[in-house]
Amino acid sequence: MVLKASLFANMKEKQVPCRTRGCDNTWTWEANDQLRWMGEGKDDPPQRMCPQCYAKYNDLSEMQVPCANDTCENTWTWTKVARLAALKRGRTEPPTDRLCNGCRDQAKSVKGLDVPCRVRGCDGTWYWTAEERMAADGGTDTAKPPLRMCEKCYDRFRHLRDETVPCRIAQCEGTWLWTRRMQLETPADKGNEPPRRMCDDCAAIFSELESKEQPCRISGCDKTWTWTRFMQIEAQRFGDGQPQPRMCNACFNRFREFSDKEVRCRIGGCKNSWIWTKGMQLEAAAKGRVRQPRRMCTDCMDQIAEFENKEISCKQEGCDGTWTWSTEAQLSASRTGRKSDPPAKLCRTCKQFLAKTTTQTLTCQKCDTTITWTKEHQLNVKLGVWSKPTLCADCRRAKEPAASQQAQRQ
């Protein structure tokens, strides 16, 4: 008797988890109950409900639920314990996939099936049980299996979260929802990167647009480039709605074959160069030009503004015309270190006269000798500086002494 009292004195109350699935509460296992339980030779604590669950349990009643087989009129019993566990999980309605006892027995003659996973690209399967098949078609083997994930995909699906992804249109601040199911179906070689998609606003505009052909930006090219619907969305939402100048594919491919070149400045005496860019070369090629253009370097373009065209008197005696000493010629003179005095040149009228006139043949009036009348001589005659020749050189020399003697006699 003393031993029993001593053992009872060492026993303490214990908090034991509630037997209801989903409940985190406990119930108190008193010392005397523990001693009696041990006296019966039992080690594990009894399965009991916490006070809250027990009170709720007493308020519930069993429910008869229709069999999941639509062709069956029987019911199955939703017990108070099962209802209490459902309430702990936040469920108030009975399950809809349970069979009555008769259908469950009948399902033993039905075979389960391995069904392909519903996730695109997955080669796994899930098991369609005999009872599920029985509930689907009453054992007639006419129902199609539902769309479900395999165990591997479902496990991954539970750990995924829907993500908000920026719109693929540049400058757009909209987003679209990359759902867990979309993430599951993303190909393995894409990793965890979401696809490039548009937000709802951009997608609505996109559906009403059509691609348009636009002229190539290269002068002289008659080809076109495609103004895509994506480009049009960007232009409409974040620009002036007009396409930006672009090259056609042919010009762009040719453009990549060119390289910038350094070309010597067109001003004589200048040792600098200017850059003949790839774009300039492409435009020249489109117009059929193969030779390099003659241009000034940057320094010469800046310095030429210091000069002005000057009108210089024609070098031809008797001519009152002028020729233009251009700014480029003056710049070239300064580059070569020549004096600032302009060179001696003919005016345009004199040049044109010499260009159109040909050397003529005259006959000496005294000896009938042929006289060569040059273009320059003809120009002097035209300007009244000289007279048209009538004698050859020999006759002219013979005439000069006679004229001189006559002048002395006088």
Render pLDDT for 180-226 as a digit per residue (tens, 0 to 9): 999 888 876 666 788 889 999 999 988 989 999 999 998 888 999 99
Q: Tell me if 295 is assigned to some domain.
A: no
Q: How many structural domains are present in the chain?
A: 4
Q: DSSP letter for 169, please.
A: S
Q: How far apart are CA 11 and CA 5, in angstroms?
A: 10
167 and 103 co-located in one domain: no
Q: What is the mean pLDDT of residues 49-57?
A: 93
| CA proximity to 382, closest of 395, 373, 392 | 373
The closest alpha carbon to 202, from 179, 230, 223, 225, belongs to: 230
Q: Is residue 337 part of a domain?
A: no
Q: Is the predicted pLDDT of residue 56 greater than 50, yes or no?
A: yes
pLDDT at 368: 87
Is the residue at 103 inside a domain? Answer: yes
For residue 154, name the pLDDT band (cuts at 50, 70, 90): very high
Single residue among 159, 191, 223 that ends a domain in this structure:
159
Q: What is the mean pLDDT of residues 148-177?
A: 92
> Are residues 133 and 76 part of one domain?
yes
**Distance, CA of 187 to CA of 195 (rounded, Å):** 10
User: Does 149 lie in the same domain as 74?
Assistant: yes
Structure confidence at residue 103 (pLDDT): 92
Check residue 260 and give its pLDDT: 92
Domain limits at 52? 2-59
Least confident of 128-142, 288-302, 332-346: 332-346
CB distance 225 to 248 below 8 Å: yes
* Res. 107: pLDDT tops 50: yes
Answer yes or no: do 49 and 72 share one domain: no
CA pseudo-torsion sign 325, 328, 332, 335: positive
Burial profile 15-38: b = 16 or more Cβ within 10 angstroms, e = fewer: ebebbbeebeeebebeeebbeeee
pTM above 0.75, yes or no: no
Say if 376 falls within a structural domain: yes
Residue spans of beta strands (DSSP E) within 265-309: 273-276
Q: Is the pLDDT of residue 105 over 60?
A: yes
Please indicate, yes or no, if residue 37 is contained in any of the structural domains.
yes
User: Within 13 Å and on the Cβ side, how many CA atoms surround 238?
Assistant: 11
Band (1; pLDDT cuts 50, 70, 90)? very low
Could you tell me if 41 and 106 lie in one domain? no
Residue 33 domain-assigned?
yes
91, 155: one domain:
yes
The structure tokens 């020549």 sit at: 338
pLDDT of residue 337: 77
SS3 152: helix
- Contact call for residues 297 and 265 (beta carbons, < 8 A): yes
- State whether 188 and 106 are in the same domain: no
For residue 194, which of 176, 174, 170, 171 has the smallest C-alpha distance?
A: 176
Q: Is residue 113's pLDDT more than 90?
A: yes
**Residues 42 and 124 occupy one common structural domain:** no
